[in-house]
Structure 1
Amino acid sequence: MRTKHLILILIGVIIATIVFIAFGPAGEPNDSFKNIVVQTHQQFKEFQENLRVGLERKKLEIDPKYLLLLGFTSPNDAAGQQQQLDQQNVADIGSSGQLPKTDFSAPATKAELELSELRGLRRPQDAVTFGSQSGDQKGQRKRITTPYNGTKSNFTIVSYVLEGQVASAILLAQNIAAKLPSEYLLIYDLGVSEEQLRDLGSYCNNSRCSVITYDLSEFPSFVADQRTHAYRPIVIKDGLMRARSVLFLENYMRVRGGSAQLRNLQSIVMNPGARKAGVKSAGILGWNTATAVSSLTHPKMFDYFESKAEEFNFLRMVDLDAVFFSGSSLVTEKIMLPWLKCCLTLECIDPIGAQSNGCKFNKKPMFRYSGCHGYDASAFNIVLGLTFQMDTSEYSLPGDSPRNIFYKETLEQATRILESRRRNSSETSDHPFTDD
């Protein structure tokens, strides 16, 4: 208590001294202090201006070659955009005398060559690389990095697999074959070993299930980071170039319903404007949670979408575990493009201070930032909120809805189940799989 009083007295003395110097008799000390105040004020104004300009420059602009790789532009369009950017860079140099911070490289020559090679392909499975002998030796993988340009199927289920996740991908293939035998499944290999790829190929190498080895090395190195999942929209976009609509599933998701339920959900996605089951879909259908977008999104990400966290306080977060996408122009231009631009911009997808663990959901109110960032899922939900005016009923159903025909199966469960099956075990209690 005595210490607190001494601190207060000391603060009072300091304030009184400053006031005396500022408003005391004119003299050299007084003038010096006024100069310091003026300079400080000027520096503060400059800092505010720089901060404002810095926020204005947080726009999502990516290298044109990535637009080419993702199928948004033709090589000629990308070259035209490149020329415009080069002209802008020259203007920036002339006005500032310095090189601009962003250095846009030329369109990807490799991508153009691969695109030419793929123009003759007509079916999604024609681009599958596992076991292909077109120009490669048998069993050698040809990594695809260019947009598919063949005939689209009506509907495709899309997933991906990383090193160590093959057990989950195999059981997903078996689950789809059992529950949705008429549907096509496409699994993207994003870095699986040859041995694991052979294992997967023995279960997924037919007219209804195929594996594509996709090369992420053409994109920035951080895209392959499993923490950010920046590769998910890339996989989805490539799938949308192969089908008019896709169901994206994480490889740990399983279907408990059947074809009739799937078709019913797909009809919601493909019939914009027709309100069904409380959803007026415009090409997207997912399942929302009780968690607010603002709670699982780093505040700095909102700057790149020229929005504020407060606008998303009551917007429910949609999981990316299972989401339907249509290939409509709205989805392509208003959702996929800005989403991909953020995921290909390091400062947007992974702001300084962002982390995926240590969530604190006990903060009040509940929509406050929890300390956990959702990375690609956060960007996806921001785009959805802005596109559909913060109305989750436009693109999602509640996570506990009876129309949710999916459930999760952990990698540990999948590994144990697969090993049990390989030992010809007759145990069925290990698997929560039911016909309900």
Structure 2
Amino acid sequence: MRTKHLILILIGVIIATIVFIAFGPAGEPNDSFKNIVVHTHQQLKEFQENLRVGLERKKLEIDPKYLLLLGFTSSKDAQDQDQRQGEHSNAADKSSRHQRPDANSATRAEQEMGDQRGGHRSQEAITFGGQQRGQRKRITTPHNGTKSNFTVVTYVLEGQTASAILLAQNIASKLPSESLLIYDLGVSEEQLRALGAYCNSSRCSVITYDLSEFPSFVSDQRTHAFRPIVIKDALMRARSVLFMENHMRVRGSHHEFQELQKRAAVHGVLGWNTVTAVSSLTHPKMFEYFESDSENFIFLRMVDLDVVFFADTLFVTEKILLPWLKCCLTQECIDPIGAQSNGCKFNKKPSYRYSGCHGYDESAFNIVLGLTWHLDNSMYSLPSDSSWNIFYKETLEKATRILESRRRNSSEASDHPFTDD
């Protein structure tokens, strides 16, 4: 009993001490307690402000020079970008609030491009089809010539020439009335000559595109940040394009192909979706740059970039290509800290949780598509297992083997690339 009474007395003393500390003799809050409350409230406000500033810093803003290089000169994007940068600078420094933003940066960028064009004009183009081969011309300036109606577009990197050659033969066989545009993104002179021997007709051409004008990370094969650049440049040359990775092949009829072109023209973009959720293959930090959250994408199927139709419309340019390019030209967006492309763990439950693998440019593309069409993938894609998927993959190893067999005049039917199997 004595112990029980002692505990009760001790509790009473503690309660009385707390009340005495909290309130003075007149029942008013004690100064020290009041200071604690004020200080805590101040810290909370600072935390909220830092959080707000942190989110603001994750906006997609790029140098207007890149917008000009990508052919956005006909829109107000460069000026809007410059104005936003000026406003941000003024907000950071109140003493210069009344100074005018630098409204001439886009003009300066245009002048820089003019200087670059002058340098590139002095170089001779590589030509195929029996014409004289001169110095290698590297294209960096927007195309402003006549547009074709449609073209198939791909790119080739060092070591991928065999795949590009077989794609050129595949297009010539299955889609003989369509043109193919191959972007050389850094192959050797020897491989370029080999490619030129096969891509030597009016319906097949090679463009050596210089990525050095863009940030160095754009050339990283891991992130594929160069893919939207290739697509945007191609859309300045044709009214609509079919972008294909060089390891893809066509096996359907030309009639089926035309039907897909019609479908793609409806909304401007048409790809093929997989069963994997966008949230599973996208690093959570990328969503922050689009002011969204991974939870919004847990039921949205991922569209891969192996085969995608694009139309050159104002809607596609401003709603799809522009935000996609802005992310791909912002290193923290395209390649968040901790992102990797291997070590995927698809056995996690539920399956839409982040797998540990990031899709880089593909992830950014899918976020843009999802936000543009309010997470309705039927507006821009078809299921990969549908009968409308007339494309299939051919590995680089197989393409190399086929090419070597042909060079040895081998006629093994099992190695023929144009089967419907």
- TM interval, short-chain normalised: 0.7 to 0.9
Q: Does 1:266 align with 2:261?
A: yes
In percent, how many aligned pairs have the same letter? 72
Q: Does 1:380 align with 2:365?
A: yes
Q: 2:58 — aligned with what?
A: 58
Q: 1:91 — aligned with what?
A: 90
Shift of 1:347: 1.0
* CA distance in structure 2 between the partners assigned to 1:408 and 1:110 by the alignment: 41
Shift of 1:23: 3.1
Determine which of 383, 401, 404 is the counterpart of 1:416.
401
Q: 2:114 — aligned with what?
A: 112
Is the Cα contact below 8 Å between 2:320 and 2:372 reproduced in 1?
yes
Is the Cα contact below 8 Å between 1:165 and 1:411 reproduced in 2?
yes
TM-score (norm 1): 0.81
Shift of 1:48: 3.0
3-state DSSP class of the match of 1:164? coil
* CA distance in structure 1 between the partners assigned to 2:277 and 2:356 by the alignment: 13
Post-superposition Cα deviations, 1:319-340, rounded to whole Å, max 9, x if no partner, equal: 1000000111111111011111
Shift of 1:80: 4.8
Shift of 1:181: 1.1
Is the Cα contact below 8 Å between 2:90 and 2:96 reproduced in 1?
no
Determine which of 293, 300, 306 is the counterpart of 2:291.
306
Q: 1:321 — aligned with what?
A: 306
TM-score (norm 2): 0.84
> After the TM superposition, which residues 48-197 of structure 1 pair with which residues of structure 2 at under 5 Å, given as runs?
48-74=48-74, 80=79, 84=83, 87-88=86-87, 91-92=90-91, 94-95=93-94, 106-107=108-109, 109-113=111-115, 129-131=125-127, 138-197=133-192
Is the Cα contact below 8 Å between 1:128 and 1:211 reproduced in 2?
no
3-state DSSP class of the match of 2:181? strand
- In structure 1, stretches of 5+ residues that fail to align are 1-15, 120-126, 273-281
Post-superposition Cα deviations, 1:330-377, rounded to whole Å, max 9, x if no partner, equal: 111110111111111111111111111111111111111111111111
3-state DSSP class of the match of 2:240? strand
Give the stretch that moved more between structures: 37-46 or 219-228: 37-46
Q: 2:248 — aligned with what?
A: 253
Is the Cα contact below 8 Å between 1:186 and 1:210 reproduced in 2?
yes
Distance 1:410-1:129 versus aligned 2 partners, 3 A rule: farther
Is the Cα contact below 8 Å between 2:64 and 2:82 reproduced in 1?
no
Shift of 1:312: 0.7
- In structure 2, stretches of 5+ residues that fail to align are 1-10, 23-29
Distance 1:341-1:82 versus aligned 2 partners, 3 A rule: closer
3-state DSSP class of the match of 1:366? coil
* CA distance in structure 1 between the partners assigned to 2:357 and 2:76 by the alignment: 39
Shift of 1:170: 0.8
Post-superposition Cα deviations, 1:71-93, rounded to whole Å, max 9, x if no partner, equal: 1115x968755764674366245
* CA distance in structure 1 between the partners assigned to 2:417 and 2:37 by the alignment: 71
Distance 1:172-1:96 versus aligned 2 partners, 3 A rule: farther
Distance 1:346-1:388 versus aligned 2 partners, 3 A rule: same
Is the Cα contact below 8 Å between 1:315 and 1:392 reproduced in 2?
yes
Q: Given residue 181 of structure 1, which amino acid in structure 2 is its aligned partner?
A: P
* CA distance in structure 2 between the partners assigned to 1:415 and 1:22 by the alignment: 84
Instruction: Please tell me the root mean square deviation across aligned C-alpha atoms, in Å.
Output: 3.1
Is the Cα contact below 8 Å between 1:78 and 1:107 reproduced in 2?
no
Is the Cα contact below 8 Å between 1:21 and 1:33 reproduced in 2?
no
Distance 1:242-1:115 versus aligned 2 partners, 3 A rule: farther
Is the Cα contact below 8 Å between 1:287 and 1:397 reproduced in 2?
yes
Post-superposition Cα deviations, 1:180-239, rounded to whole Å, max 9, x if no partner, equal: 111100000011111111111111122010000001011111110111100000000011
Post-superposition Cα deviations, 1:226-264, rounded to whole Å, max 9, x if no partner, equal: 111000000000111111100000000011113211111
Shift of 1:61: 1.2
Shift of 1:58: 1.7
Aligned residues: 391
Is the Cα contact below 8 Å between 1:175 and 1:255 reproduced in 2?
yes
3-state DSSP class of the match of 2:109? coil
Q: Which has the larger radius of gyration?
A: 2
* CA distance in structure 2 between the partners assigned to 1:207 and 1:372 by the alignment: 41
Give the stretch that moved more between structures: 36-45 or 257-266: 36-45
Shift of 1:304: 1.1
Q: Does 1:430 align with 2:415?
A: yes
Q: Does 1:393 align with 2:405?
A: no
